[in-house]
Structure 1
Amino acid sequence: MGLSLPPVNRLGVFGGAFDPPHLAHVALVEAAVAALQLDQVRVLPTGQAWHKTRALSEAHHRLAMTRLAFQHLPQVVVDDREIRRSGPSYTVDTLRELQAEFPQAQLYLLLGDDQRRSLPSWHQIEEIGRIAIICAAGRDMAVRAWNEELGALQTTPPLSDKLQARIRTLEMPLMPHSATDIRELLAKEQAITSLVPPAVERYIHEHHLYRPH
């Protein structure tokens, strides 16, 4: 008889382009595992990103880099379902699937600061808030500033009080790492050693990714 796996009662969900994955991504997951006592975190590189105006790097490269970035965390399962899914990749669909697979688990949707700012435009955001507790990186001051900014933007639909009640803040230092900045540095053939895990940096150089054309 095989060993039974421990139950997953607290499941983190962290999606993104991971083009490339960087140290702020890793720090967010580490903070979430510690603060929320997560049994497992599903890290999901996106497939067809409906909100991205640029073409993403090939999916197999982003998947491989993501596995390297999180390989030291036993709670992490890198999940390729969004890459395998045809058509636009919506977070709400992934959450529904995971809810069906782990009916006993509380789901926690983990967000970086940039993702949190775009929440009002997310597909079926109210349904997302019904399925999962939304946990966003940042400090209290950053959250207050974000709320004030949302209030000042008349073109941005306000989040409902019900949804606001489902949003928590992950207390962690704000890390100004950006995949866009990293790609720009690589295009200029500048160092990224302090921005990405060493294994990811090696993979990028071995596969000549993000080089100027």
Structure 2
Amino acid sequence: MTSSPPLPEAAARRRVGLMGGSFDPVHRAHVELAETALRHLQLDEVRWIPVGQPWQKARQLAAPGHRLAMVQAATAHEPRFVVDPIELNRDGPSYTRDTVRMLQSTAAEPTDWFLIIGQDQYANFPTWQGWHELLQALTLAVACRGHDLPAAPKALAGLPHRVVELPLPPLNVSSTDIRARLARGEDPLTLAPELVSAPVARYIATHQLYAPGGAPR
């Protein structure tokens, strides 16, 4: 009697987190969230995706090239961070649904996808374009501060969907506050390292972004 050859082992699936946003500017809390996702979800990669044309924001953003460069500066220390200009290169409003479709259709190997979002984004998720499709396509990784737990919005409460928690320490950092401080004339270099990384602070200072009386550039 001859024995059957061993069955080949199933190929391991890659685990990729998607982190989108205006990143105007990218700050310490963004980086802390991405690093937490790497550890907590055992990701192979966090893909940073600066938004092109945000359909839910009315204000003018800094120029795409500047926002892309700031994200590249903030993430250069971690080889598992990948900056992807997919939405900057696409015409029309930036819908996460379209981005996920494109990434999944072009993936070279089997992949589990995680959408990294904050609790406010989770609460507003039913307002997103194609949100039912997104629930089927990936797992929602929701940032939780302190002892808070992600509470599903009413529209999602009765729907089966995959959600995991990302525990984060309290960080009082926001892009809105950073822009306001710079608009009042604060030296960008004084923001590092508590609010933004030193490379991002230097980039803002070099290009005089968010300076008093100036429009986003």
TM over 0.5: yes
Residue type of the partner of 2:163?
I
Please say if 1:177 is aligned against 2:173: yes
Residue-pair matches, total = 198
Residue matched to 2:39: 34
Q: Select the residue among 99, 106, 116 that pairs with 1:101.
A: 106
Shift of 1:140: 7.0
What is the letter of the counterpart of residue 110 of structure 1?
I
| Structure 1 segment 15-164 matched on structure 2, within 5 A | 15-102=20-107, 104-139=110-145, 141-143=147-149, 146-147=151-152, 150=153, 158-163=155-160
User: 1:37-80 CA deviation, whole Å, 9 max, x = no partner?
Assistant: 11111100000000001011100000000000011111111000
Residue by residue over 1:134-192, the C-alpha shift from the partner in whole angstroms, topping out at 9 and shown as x without a partner, is: 00111474336x55xx5xxxxxx6224335x4121101213221101110011112342
Could you state the TM-score of these two structures normalised by the residue count of structure 2? 0.85
Q: Which residue of 1 aligns with 2:183?
A: 187
What is the aligned partner in structure 1 of residue 212 from structure 2?
Answer: 212
Which is further off, 100-109 or 28-37?
100-109
Structure 2 residue identity aligned to 1:76:
F
Secondary structure of 1:84's counterpart equals coil
User: SS at 1:169's partner residue?
Assistant: strand
Unpaired runs of at least 5, structure 1: 1-6, 151-156
Distance 2:170 2:202 in 1: 26
Amino acid at match of 2:184: K
Distance in 1 of aligned mates of 2:140 and 2:39: 16
Partner SS, residue 72 of structure 2? helix
| TM-score relative to the length of structure 1 | 0.86
- In 2: Cα distance, 1:120 partner to 1:142 partner: 21
Residue 8 of structure 2 is aligned to residue 12 of structure 1? no
Identify which range, 131-140 or 202-211, moves more after superposition.
131-140
More helix by share: 1
SS at match of 2:88: helix
2:13 and 2:31 map into 1 onto residues whose CA distance is 21
CA apart distance, 1:119: 1.6
**Is contact 1:47–1:88 with CA below 8 Å preserved after alignment?**
yes
Relative distance call for 1:185 and 1:114 in structure 2 (3 A) is farther
Distance in 1 of aligned mates of 2:146 and 2:139:
17
Q: What stretches of structure 2 of length at least 5 have no aligned partner?
A: 1-11
CA contact (8 A) 1:8 1:39 kept: no
What's the secondary structure of 2:34's corresponding residue?
A: helix
Is the partner of 2:92 in helix, strand or coil?
A: coil
Residues in 2 aligned to 1:140 and 1:184: alpha-carbon distance in whole angstroms: 26
Q: Distance in 2 between matches of 1:113 and 1:72?
A: 27
Report if the CA contact (8 A) 2:24-2:67 is conserved.
yes
Residues in 2 aligned to 1:179 and 1:126: alpha-carbon distance in whole angstroms: 29
CA RMSD of aligned residues (A): 1.9
